Structure 1
């Protein structure tokens, strides 16, 4: 018989039944009732609440196994059973993959969602040693990934799960070895022309007032340094070397979190030029005039805090493009603009690659079109020259 005398004081989903603790919860329309091997004391009740919470979290992510339930009941589950490759389920290895992954928080959350959405419905309760390359290929066909990039992103955590199983001797061969990433079409950079850049900056200078004037100098700095938005909003005064005319780029801000690395995990030293120096001094003067007490160079005028993301400046540039009747491009393309201006002016590609944080090979691959400056236009112009006999 259920003891309801103290039910109002018990945690949700915990009750005393025949002088024992019972927890209950629902997952995927199935109701679980589990009697625990803990006495109905204050300490036992706290333990029961924690066990229930852990089981609910596992169920939420599709990681709940019969072994988890057996352990909660206090049944004897031998370690050898879980280490036997034939008994270890895909979801158990997936759980460990997420736990041991050294990826950042955003990437881990992404992996978790991918595994839950695309792979758990098919493989969760399958012994990992039984999953073959053919099984995976059938799931890939069933999922019908719409783009190569989406497929590659979804294959990454799946490949990681099997790699962990190989490492722990639960399988001998990774079945993903024969499944290659799909080729992603690399789009050619689409920079603003110098004339377009100057028109955008002129509109920002004329149309923005008071605290919004900040964005005029933000984009002056973006166009003349080639920094990624995530690098710009992480920049600090302590990164600037005025004596040598440089600043360090060694971190980024993404969704309000500061990372101690750049997108490519490569730090670099960017040289200031006349216009980026002017922009940087204007940004620091703006911060001083506003009375900001922080080391960050870029602060959102609206919140007075470091930027959560690059959306506020992006919206200003979109407004400028519309006003100037300039074809829309992402604000990120200010970086491409700087790169192509340098190359068109004949700057050494090695220096350009270093300033952007690219390898020389990557720079040449992405910006081949601009490596010869105006010579390409000169060559094509020859086609229209009228030759006399």
Structure 2
């Protein structure tokens, strides 16, 4: 075992060179060859294998630093580098959690990014049973999350990791159970008025030429059916029931990934009115040979996301000098128009895929139509 040619008895990625132990590995297209200050003994080789695993883990999560490499070489650095002790590492439980997480691929990718950016730099190589509630609170303060919503979102996969640790009996007490979500201010919907909607549709109809004119029909349907953008771009002609005048909304499309569920995991039938029927028939004439209702004019393929139609509505808002709002607010516009016209809130909730309680919570100010203005006028009478 005194030379580098006898490798069969050595752990993977460990070799002997000139009486010294060297570890080597490649991650993220970068090669690492590190000579360690350990003796060429069984104990030294075992330690080298563990150090290699630790460094590979950091490289995988994008947190390997020159400080770590220098410490492994035995160079004089500060003592913040911690050699992992016994116990299952946080990163190992995190990988297990992501593997078995039942969320869709897009959500799992988001969870992985959150773990890598916010939690792995601190916890990756710590035995999970040694992580305390105070450790988590300290990191929350150090990370300085910009909004309460961002923090709450980042806590979701962290809770999942510790729940997986409890389930696997790696820990008996969950250190995150006393970490509460921050309160988030819920903004009220900001719909377009009927006049604004009419101006936007008129501009789109007049100014979009050729294949781009498709986007006029896209928004004619969006304003008059109340579907989410992710639902619209997942819509197929087989979902349209022309005889009964309905659309079946049971899918969504996010970043090019088809999901067999809506945002609320509830399928629904959306009733079409005259304007939404006309829009659908116009779109059908443009896309006779495709299964998808919405086909991107630029690519002749189903939409990857809702950015192309959003760009057109932004252009229309600027040209019409209408205050900017997200294109998603076409859905809010549909809901508030129905409520202001006195349509039964139960029907509106069904159309949107909301519970009645959620509809009332979000759209209470529009449920009474102009009665609110009448009540306010009473305050001004002497």
Q: TM-score, normalised by structure 2?
A: 0.81
| Deviations, residues 203-247 of structure 1 (Å, cap 9, x unaligned) | 111111111111111000000000000100110000011111101
Q: Please tell me whether residue 322 in structure 1 is matched to residue 345 in structure 2.
A: no
Check conservation: 2:226, 2:332, Cα contact below 8 A: yes
In the aligned structure 1, how far is the partner of 2:27 from the partner of 2:202? 60
Structure 1 residue matching 2:316: 3-state secondary structure:
helix
**CA spacing shift, 1:128–1:379, aligned 2, 3 Å:** same
**Equivalences for residues 62-73 of structure 1 within 5 A:** none
In the aligned structure 1, how far is the partner of 2:117 from the partner of 2:31? 18
**Equivalences for residues 191-230 of structure 1 within 5 A:** 191-230=191-230
Partner of 1:367 in structure 2? 363
Partner of 1:337 in structure 2? 333
Structure 2 residue matching 1:24: 3-state secondary structure:
strand
Q: Please tell me whether residue 173 in structure 1 is matched to residue 169 in structure 2.
A: no
Q: Please tell me whether residue 283 in structure 1 is matched to residue 283 in structure 2.
A: yes
In the aligned structure 2, how far is the partner of 1:161 from the partner of 1:168? 11
Structure 2 residue matching 1:222: 3-state secondary structure:
helix
Check conservation: 2:228, 2:328, Cα contact below 8 A: yes
Q: Please tell me whether residue 313 in structure 1 is matched to residue 320 in structure 2.
A: no
Partner of 1:299 in structure 2? 295
RMSD: 2.9
The structure 2 residue matched to 1:381, chosen from 362, 377, 382, is 377
Structure 2 residue matching 1:162: 3-state secondary structure:
helix
Structure 2 residue matching 1:270: 3-state secondary structure:
strand
Check conservation: 2:63, 2:121, Cα contact below 8 A: no
**CA spacing shift, 1:16–1:106, aligned 2, 3 Å:** farther
In the aligned structure 2, how far is the partner of 1:295 from the partner of 1:316? 24
Q: Please tell me whether residue 94 in structure 1 is matched to residue 94 in structure 2.
A: yes
Structure 2 residue matching 1:224: 3-state secondary structure:
helix
Q: Please tell me whether residue 346 in structure 1 is matched to residue 346 in structure 2.
A: no
In the aligned structure 2, how far is the partner of 1:140 from the partner of 1:57? 23
How far apart are residue 15 of structure 1 and its match?
10
Question: Number of residues paired by the alignment?
Answer: 333
Check conservation: 1:152, 1:182, Cα contact below 8 A: yes
How far apart are residue 59 of structure 1 and its match?
3.1
How far apart are residue 31 of structure 1 and its match?
3.7
Partner of 1:239 in structure 2? 239
Where do 4+ consecutive residues of structure 1 move more than 4 Å?
13-18, 26-30, 55-58
Gaps of 5+ in 2: 6-12, 37-51, 65-84
Structure 1 residue matching 2:329: 3-state secondary structure:
helix
How far apart are residue 281 of structure 1 and its match?
0.8
Gaps of 5+ in 1: 4-12, 35-51, 65-84
How far apart are residue 123 of structure 1 and its match?
1.5
Structure 1 residue matching 2:269: 3-state secondary structure:
strand
**CA spacing shift, 1:26–1:199, aligned 2, 3 Å:** closer
Partner of 2:81 in structure 1? none
In the aligned structure 1, how far is the partner of 2:245 from the partner of 2:265? 23
**CA spacing shift, 1:122–1:296, aligned 2, 3 Å:** same
Partner of 1:75 in structure 2? none
How far apart are residue 100 of structure 1 and its match?
1.2
**CA spacing shift, 1:275–1:16, aligned 2, 3 Å:** farther
| Deviations, residues 96-128 of structure 1 (Å, cap 9, x unaligned) | 111111111121121112112211121222221
After superposing the two structures, state which structure 1 stretch, 122-131 or 246-255, moved more: 122-131
Check conservation: 1:299, 1:305, Cα contact below 8 A: yes
How far apart are residue 23 of structure 1 and its match?
5.1
In the aligned structure 1, how far is the partner of 2:372 from the partner of 2:264? 31
Partner of 1:121 in structure 2? 121
| Deviations, residues 120-174 of structure 1 (Å, cap 9, x unaligned) | 1212222211111111111111111111011011111111110001101111121
Structure 2 residue matching 1:176: 3-state secondary structure:
coil
Check conservation: 2:245, 2:271, Cα contact below 8 A: yes
Partner of 1:25 in structure 2? 26
Partner of 1:105 in structure 2? 105
How far apart are residue 32 of structure 1 and its match?
4.8
